[in-house]
Amino acid sequence: MKVRLLLAGLALACAVPVLHAQTSEEKGLEIAREADRRGAGFGDFQADMRMVLITQRGDTSERELRVSTLEGTGEEGDKSLTIFDTPRDVRGTALLTYSYKTGDDDQWLYLPALRRVKTIASRNKSGPFMGSEFSFEDMRGQEVEKYTYKYLRDEPCGELTCSVMERYPTDENSGYTKQVAWIDQQEYRTWKVDYYDRKESRLKTLTMSDFAQYQEKFWQPGKMAMVNHQTGKATDLFWSNYRYDTGLSEADFNQNSLKRAR
């Protein structure tokens, strides 16, 4: 009897399929997809931004901007328009960005002093955006498909627990070899990102804070602080006055809208 029971148990064990263990790459991609899913469906939004440039000595200068974003559909990513209002010497400067899930994004910068639109080439996207510690690449859409991923570990981040993962840009023209991101497991908000340059040295750290929820779904930071470890410079972005469902359309995001920016 005992022999028959043992044989029956072995047969049952052999019949049960072996579950595939999730790899660190699969888990990293799963986290990225969930974070993207939770931020989807906003349609459009507008917000105000105050940019504070901080020198190595601690001197500061400020700029005021407006940002408009239209959510993409299908293979298209989001479209965004960033307009400078102050100071006077950069008033009317505007950046238009078309993000795509795959392939190169498109960016155009309107310079009112020259009355011309400048195309930002992919090979130049690692350059600084208007003298800040944010690059043109940082101002582009962070589409899930633009990276491969690797989950590293879980660790406390304040009162929350964050998943820490690496993401590697698939674009050969990227200014980064990798980014390390801290994403909380409760709402899938990104709290911190370390950026590594082409020499694989830590270049910058972005820290996000003062999150608030809009429309009972979308979490947005009130502050984004970018520190350049190699130059000692920093840039703080203070966000305010988020507005959703403002009626934006494709017509608000073309090169003519750049020249109309006021």
Side chain identity at 83, as an amino acid letter?
Answer: I
In the numeric block, the tokens 């029956």 are attached to: 8
Which one is predicted more confidently, 8 or 131?
131
**How far is it, in rounded angstroms, from Cα 181 to Cα 191?**
8
CA distance 85 to 261: 9
Give the pLDDT band (50/70/90) at residue 123.
confident
| Residue 98: Cβ within 10 Å count | 20
Say whether pLDDT at 4 is over 70.
no
Written as one string, the DSSP assignment of 85-104 is: EESGGGTT-EEEEEEESSS-
Q: Which residues of 71-87 are buried (b: 16+ CB within 10 A; e: fewer)?
A: bbeeeebbbbbbbbbee
Residue where the block lists tokens 């990102």: 193
Distance of CA 203 to the CA centre of its chain: 17
Average pLDDT, the chain: 91
For 60-107, write each residue's pLDDT tens digit. Answer: 999 999 999 999 987 788 999 999 999 999 999 999 999 998 888 999
Using an 8 Å Cβ cutoff, are 105 and 98 in contact? yes
Quick one: pLDDT at residue 235? Answer: 98
Q: What is the pTM of this model?
A: 0.89
The pLDDT value recorded for residue 208 is 98
Give per-residue pLDDT as tens, 177-230.
Answer: 999 999 999 999 999 999 999 999 999 999 999 999 999 999 999 999 999 999
**Per-position b or e across 146-182, b if 16+ CB within 10 A of its CB:** bbebbbeeeeebeeeebbbbbbbbebeebbbbbbbbb
Alpha-carbon span 81 to 72, nearest angstrom: 14
Cα 98 to chain centroid distance, Å, stands at 14
| Residue 260 in this model has a pLDDT that exceeds 80 | no
Q: Report the 3 state secondary structure along 141-180.
A: CCCHHHEEEEEEEEEEECCEEEEEEEEEECCCCCCCCEEE
Residue with the two structure tokens 């981040």: 157
Rounded CA separation 139/65 (Å): 14
What letter does residue 237 receive in the DSSP assignment? E
